[in-house]
Amino acid sequence: MEKRKLEVADLFKLQSVTDPQLAPNGKEAVFVKTHIDEEDNKYIANLFHVDLESNEVTQWTHGKGAISSPEWSSDGKQIAFLSDREEKNQLFILQARGGEAQKVTTFEKGVSGFLWSPCGKKIWVDAVVKEGKTFTDKEEKDEKKKPQPYRATKMKYQMDGAGLLPQDTYKQIGLVDIETGEVTQFTEGNFQHGLQAISHDGKKLIIGVNRKNNLDFEFRQPLIIVDVETKEETVLVDEEGYFGGAQFSFDDRYIAYVGSDRSFENATHSSLYVYDTEDGMRMNLTESIDAPVGDAAVADHQQGADAPSAVWTKDNYLYFQLSTMGDIRLYFASLEGELYPATPENEHVYGYDISVDGEFALVAVSNAINPGELYKQTIATGERQAITSFNATYLEEVELVEPEAIVYKGATNWDVHGWLMKPAGYVEGTNYPLIVEIHGGPHAMYANTFFHELQLLAAQGYGVLYVNPRGSHGYSQEFVDAVRGDYGGGDYEDIMAGLDYVCKENSWIDTNRLGVTGGSYGGFMTNWIVGHSDRFKAAVTQRSISNWISFFGVSDIGYYFSDWQIGADMTDVDKLWEHSPLKYAKHVETPLLILHSEKDFRCPIEQAEQLYITLKSMGKETEFVRFPDANHNLSRTGTPNLRIARLDEITGWFAKYL
């Protein structure tokens, strides 16, 4: 059977398999499967169960909403999960032997997260509570409520995806009695508390909280061990940087957590730490690896992929994700300092759980030509058995292009890693246009994972080049830090050197038909490129930065990100302007399509407005498309019809000019 080419609307056919959770008996598991409902224009996520002895997969929930964060009770008889089936995320419990899910909470503002108490009769929750109110207090509904002014007194007053932040609400931790529904508030004070972990004996909680009154320049979240009975606190970690994902070992002696200090601001590699509660000592288990712990991949398919920071076995071994050379691999660590990969190269492990005895792992795995499925992997041999095959029919019907990995010399003679895709249906001796894709971040990475947008461009007859220039994660600390203070310098050279390299090595590339696109930092770089080179015949800039001076005051992160990344604030506007693509608008000769979301608070739409009007006033060839009710994450989690419209705009522009 001849395969068809991938289409924009295939977003509605692809299935996302995430969040495997093993039962305590190691013989069964649950996971989440998400698909996009075209008719309802929404994401639908349901809970599935697998019997690991028979490999039988059964759908356990059938709602039209999205469920997330499934977790087994310690006796394996119940599964708790969050569901937005009634708008706000609430906590539900399902009996493992069948029956309807029981709704446990009816909080006014929903539930943010939860942890089972080991007794199985109570559940710890964290949720937003209005000052002076309780979890269950209802707000008065006034149908004729008049608009009210918003007073900002702090710099962190808005956030992408949330908009203006409420000034009088705080995340608190509480304990829910499953039988009675009674909720007891555990934390107090006007601070944001985050639930991290509970010890296996149920006596200790780990919470994250910063109790400073003004958090504008606070870039830390202390982790605190709290005695459940006495509320006595012991500091686990309190230093600059982000630390989280705490997990108790089975004997409750050790606590693993992941984090990064501020040595290189937000470019600092994350490490895996272990704290010994007996002697108070802390070990950095990944100190010898020059790569970040966690998942730094950018892609547009996996929905709600939420992997644990680390998982213990009963023998006090640890498993965790590591982003390295375009892979996200599962790694093993011992307290004695042993470290080695537990999964192979050339793939993206985006979800996992480990059996208590360390015999096998459940891994959710994708690669460039597989959207992702769930596998059972024997740790000792690496042997894998497929558990799910939701995308099997799709893969039989659709032609996907396998990228070729490349390594070339970038600026300062450093090795730069990337991939080149030939057009789908490539015919030897034919010339094809090429599109360069640039990722956001910049501290993220393209990876060996399925990427619908890249496959779509290949399906429409384009070669696709995507690389990890300096600033990208997954390589050395020196490499990821090298972009800071040098936006538009070595990073620009790395990307253009990659283009030179593939054009020289591949005679099929028509160098008169080159396109470039990218979002966020990739949008900044697209803007920069067209202001510094006329090699491209078409460009699409998305959710971009054009002016660092205004970005400082309008972005939800601008007032510190500009300093961290450009090395300048409003006391040095000359440097901010020097690195602003808008300064070079008069040099733009490339037809430029500008795409931007109306509710993007990360790179606000005024960045696009300035660029568009400036280019138009200079008589440049440009168009501007605005996406209503969309934020910075449009390409990944945006409203489905707008995601389709965005892809149609990109492919339409390239079709017109290439």
Task: Report the alpha-carbon angle 245-250-255, nearest 5.
Answer: 35
CB-based contacts of 208: which residues, under 8 Å, 6+ apart? 193, 194, 196, 221, 222, 223, 224, 243, 244
CB-based contacts of 545: which residues, under 8 Å, 6+ apart? 520, 521, 523, 524, 527, 551, 580, 581, 603, 607
Is 35 tagged catalytic?
no
Angle between helices 490-505 and 521-532 in degrees, nearest 10: 70
Burial-class residue 316 by CB neighbours within 10 Å (0-12, 13-18, 19+).
middle
Q: In terms of Cα–Cα distance, which of 446, 366, 369 is closest to 402?
A: 369
Beta strands in 28-178 (DSSP E): 28-37, 42-51, 56-59, 67-72, 78-83, 90-95, 102-103, 113-116, 122-130, 158-159, 163-164, 169-177
Is 16 tagged catalytic?
no
Alpha carbon distance 360, 378 (integer Å): 4
Structure tokens at 184: 């007891």
DSSP string, 344-371: -SSSEEEEEEE-TTSSEEEEEEEETTEE
Q: What is the dihedral of CA 47, 343, 447, 335, to 10 degrees?
A: 90
Alpha carbon distance 387, 582 (integer Å): 51
**Set 112, 323, 472, 520: catalytic member:** 520
- Single-letter amino acid code for the residue at 490: G
**Set 439, 443, 579, 632: catalytic member:** 632
Alpha carbon distance 311, 389 (integer Å): 25
Residues annotated as catalytic are: 520, 632
